[in-house]
Amino acid sequence: MTTTAIDQDDAPAAGALGEPALQLTVNGQPRRVPSGTALADLLADLALAPDAVATAVNGEFIARGSRSALRLRDGDQVTCFEAIVGG
Amino acid sequence: MPSDNPVPADDGFSLAGVALRSRFLLGSAGYPSPQVLCDAIAASGSQVVTLGLKRQFPTGARGAGDNGFIDIVRASGARLLPNTAGCRTAREAVTLAHMARELLGTHWIKLEVVGDEHTLQPDPWELTIAATQLVRDGFEVFPYCTDDLVSAQRLVDAGCRILMPWGAPIGSGQGLLNPWALRTLRARLPGLTLVVDAGIGVPSHAAQAMELGFDAVLLNSAVAQAADPVAMARAFGLAIAAGRIGWRAGLLAPQDMAVASTPVGGRPFEI
């Protein structure tokens, strides 16, 4: 599987109110985000256009229109897919 | 449609309610360049092209990585048929299908749920579970299945109106390994759209599938991996058309013994 390296140098240690950051797995790579981060926020942080990828959290499809409302939780596994050639 | 690949006006083909001129479904993987893929689609006359999905971030500028190929497929005007390649469970396949629908804007899905990593043959149980769910979710399901009649019937019971039984394992080029089973599917499921998918190696395999009365053929590797994919795409297009025309014309039934064709009426010098 091809994955893109994700820069963790600026990953937050805690949220604005001191809540512990969330430890996620994004396309197989670890990533910390502030508590309260929505899936849409995560995609924006990754500079992904909303229509460029399809998303799932813990194996469940999350529709584009539902990403802003979905608050990520500690331990969530986020997967992003794009279209490729296929037979 | 290539000008040397005429389709009789009285032989319309409808795939999931969509009228098509071509009975050739073409895969988009493994071509040496986007331009070759573009030319192959044109040469084949195909109006349905398959795509896949992969867990990865977009590779950047359009034209880079797979984006050049995807752009070609989109620009060709062909109907997109995304697949769930790589899935091992019904849950994975259902999730991927929903992703495909959102990304590509089609409710068509080529449903693949693999049961063995070496043969890549379908898992008939997970396939049926996934098909049942996806039909409920409003998909037009094109299940990649084996040639087993009972498994096929379960897919029909789940709501599938199209079946895509294999000729041989994906990419193996072995042709139709079990013509009897395929012939049985055609005979027992007369009202269903049947598409031979996988294992096609040479144009005569595709013609053979059409001569069995199948409605269409889907193939990828035999074209993409040819020394000249564009010429091979044209060859397959002609073969599929020829097989269809031949089947409609009435094929000569094989006989165990000779049946004289010249009507001499006996030995010429025997009185």
pLDDT digits (tens, 9 = 90+) for A42-59: 999 999 999 999 999 999
Closest CB to A1: pick one of B55, B94, B219. Answer: B55
SS3 B154: helix
CB contact under 8 A, B57 and A61: no
> Rounded to whole angstroms, how far apart are CA atoms B165 and B149?
10
Test the B interface: residue of A60, A61, A77, A84 with most B CBs within 10 Å: A84
Residue B172 has, within 13 A of its CA and on its CB side, a CA count of 16
Asked if A10 has any chain B CB less than 8 Å from its own CB, the reply is no
Test the A interface: residue of B38, B70, B76, B102 with most A CBs within 10 Å: B102
Those residues with Cβ within 8 angstroms of residue A56's Cβ, 6 or more apart along the chain or in another chain: A62, A78, A79, A81, B95, B99
Which DSSP symbol is given to A19? P
Residues 55-114 of B with CB under 8 A from A: 55-58, 66, 69-70, 73, 82-83, 85, 91-92, 94-96, 98-100, 102-104
pLDDT at B31 over 60: yes
> Rounded to whole angstroms, how far apart are CA atoms B253 and B250?
9
pLDDT of residue B263: 85
pLDDT at A9 over 60: no
Kindly indicate the confidence band of residue B269, based on its pLDDT and cuts at 50, 70 and 90.
Answer: confident
CB B171 within 8 A of CB B138: no
DSSP state letters, B86-135: T--SHHHHHHHHHHHHHHH---EEEE--BS-TTT--B-HHHHHHHHHHHH
Those residues with Cβ within 8 angstroms of residue B177's Cβ, 6 or more apart along the chain or in another chain: B167, B168, B199
B178-194 residue pLDDT tens: 999 999 999 999 999 99
**Is B54 among the residues known to form the active site?**
no
Asked if A8 has any chain B CB less than 8 Å from its own CB, the reply is no
Mean pLDDT (whole number) for B140-147 = 98
Q: What is the ipTM of this complex?
A: 0.87
CB B193 within 8 A of CB B213: no
Cα→Cα distances B271→B260, B262, B265, Å: 20, 19, 12
pLDDT of residue B60: 60
Helices (H) and strands (E) in chain B, counts: 9, 10
Kindly indicate the confidence band of residue A14, based on its pLDDT and cuts at 50, 70 and 90.
Answer: low
pLDDT at A1 over 90: no
Exposed/middle/buried for A64, CB within 10 Å: 0-12, 13-18, 19+? middle
Cα→Cα distances B216→A72, A85, B213, B241, B262, Å: 45, 21, 9, 10, 36
SS3 B163: strand
CB contact under 8 A, A86 and B96: no
Minimum distance, in Å, between the CA of residue A48 and any CA atom of chain B: 8
pLDDT at B135 over 70: yes
Asked if A84 has any chain B CB less than 8 Å from its own CB, the reply is yes
SS3 B241: helix
Q: Which amino acid makes up residue B203?
A: P
Asked if A1 has any chain B CB less than 8 Å from its own CB, the reply is yes
CB contact under 8 A, A86 and B28: yes
pLDDT of residue B254: 87
Asked if A14 has any chain B CB less than 8 Å from its own CB, the reply is no
Q: Cite the beta strand spans of chain B per DSSP E.
A: 13-15, 18-20, 24-27, 48-55, 79-82, 108-111, 140-145, 162-165, 193-197, 216-219
Residues in chain B with CB shorter than 8 Å from the CB of A87 are 27-30, 50, 52, 83, 85, 170-171, 219-221
Q: Which amino acid makes up residue B49?
A: V
CB A34 within 8 A of CB A21: yes
The Cα angle at residue A74 between residues A55 and A1, in degrees rounded to 5: 45
Kindly indicate the confidence band of residue B7, based on its pLDDT and cuts at 50, 70 and 90.
Answer: low
pLDDT at B81 over 90: yes
Closest CB to B56: pick one of A3, A51, A87. Answer: A3
pLDDT of residue B136: 98
Mean pLDDT (whole number) for B19-28 = 96
Q: What is the percentage of chain B residues whose pLDDT exceeds 90?
A: 82
Mean pLDDT (whole number) for B155-180 = 96
pLDDT of residue B66: 65
CB B76 within 8 A of CB A23: no
B198-237 residue pLDDT tens: 999 999 999 999 999 999 999 999 999 999 999 999 999 9
pLDDT of residue B1: 43
